[in-house]
Amino acid sequence: MTSELLNSLRQNDTRVLSGLISAVENGDDTISETLNSLFPHSRDSLRIGITGPPGAGKSTLIDKLIVQIRAEDGTVGVVSVDPTSFFSGGALLGDRVRMNRHSLDPAVYVRSMGSRGHTGGLARLTHQVADVIASTGKDYIIVETVGVGQAETEIVLNVDIVVVVFVPESGDEIQIMKAGPMEVGDIFVINKADRAGADRISQLLQDYMSDSSGQREFVPQIILTEATEGKGIEQLWAQCRTLMAELQQSGTIRKRRNEQYLSRVRNAVHDELAARFWNSDRESVLMKQIDGMRERHLSPYEAADQLVNELG
């Protein structure tokens, strides 16, 4: 990578940045070298994950958080991962409308990513896109994901703090998300607090927190917001700031980053080995094993053993 490219990125050349992200999304051959040389420049940004059920108001909240960040002269990049676009194609448009008013501000960069075609590698792709945006020198990177299952937890794990957003109707979703994104939640938001039921959800969250308090370093705060009206946003941002400062002080952010680094390396090794392993010879052995499975009752584990041990 040339220093010219880094200079363009540092000067917020949006055209260069968008081009680079598209190359990452398309998996262009030349991109890994560029990503490697950008990585050291991506470390200073603080990363905030915002996750929650579809339509909880995550993008609206982020739009309002951007205003808070700009008011204190901070710079911010947003990666918005949108699994629903696969079905509707509509939410991406919604994000653009909601966050687009910042598009003329060079201190703000918003990128929406559909998950179409990326299933499996979506977490890796999101981390890479976040790194590229961070290398422009943004103070904060916000990663928005729809948080329901384990795959989404993986995306959100590559951030410094996690904000989980619910709405007053989220009772069932709280149950579903207990084994996933909620475990990594540092701040809980109940958005759309203008609607009935916010108190009940708040109580559910408090119960959940007292049940899981043994496994936590600290008790997450619950903040009520009304994103469309901008209510509670100042408090939310203040809590994000305070928590990030505390976790930096206590060494937790450094610890989390080490864990993220480890898991990224492990995943990359896994992907690389799998890609090298599945050559055409092994693919054809695998196809022949299908017959073995029917006739000799070859279990999947025996088949895998044969492939790895006898052919490896």
Ligand X SMILES: Nc1nc2c(ncn2[C@@H]2O[C@H](COP(=O)(O)OP(=O)(O)OP(=O)(O)O)[C@@H](O)[C@H]2O)c(=O)[nH]1
Residue 108 C-beta: closest distance to ligand X, Å: 17
Question: Of 58-66, 131-139, 198-206, 295-303, which part binds ligand X (CB under 6 A)?
Answer: 58-66
Indicate which of ligand X, Mg ion, none lies near residue 57 (CB less than 5 to 8 Å, by partner kind).
ligand X
Using the rule CB under 6 A, which residue among 77, 94, 180, 220 binds ligand X? Answer: 94
Nearer to ligand X, 94 or 180 (CB): 94
- What count of residues does the chain have? 312
List helix spans (H) across 49-186.
58-71, 91-99, 122-134, 150-156, 171-177
Indicate which of ligand X, Mg ion, none lies near residue 60 (CB less than 5 to 8 Å, by partner kind).
ligand X
Using the rule CB under 5 A, which residue among 59, 136, 145, 225 binds Mg ion? Answer: 59
Question: Of 52-60, 121-129, 224-232, 279-287, which part binds Mg ion (CB under 5 A)?
Answer: 52-60
Q: Does 149 bind ligand X (CB under 6 A)?
A: no
Torsion of CA 257, 260, 265, 268, to 10 degrees: -140
CA distance 140 to 237: 12
Instruction: List, in sequence order, every residue forming a beta bridge with 226; answer none if it has no partner.
Output: 231
Task: Of 28, 29, 39, 30, give the one whose Cα is nearest residue 6.
Answer: 39
Q: Does 194 bind ligand X (CB under 6 A)?
A: yes
Q: Does 111 bind ligand X (CB under 6 A)?
A: no
Q: Token digits for 24?
A: 């990452």
Q: Does 289 bind Mg ion (CB under 5 A)?
A: no
Look up tokens 């339509």; give the residue: 55
Phi and psi torsions of 46, nearest 5°? -85, 135
Q: Does 201 bind ligand X (CB under 6 A)?
A: no
Nearer to ligand X, 6 or 148 (CB): 148
- Please, what sign has the CA dihedral across residues 177, 181, 187, 190? negative
Name the site residues for Mg ion (rule: CB under 5 A).
58-59
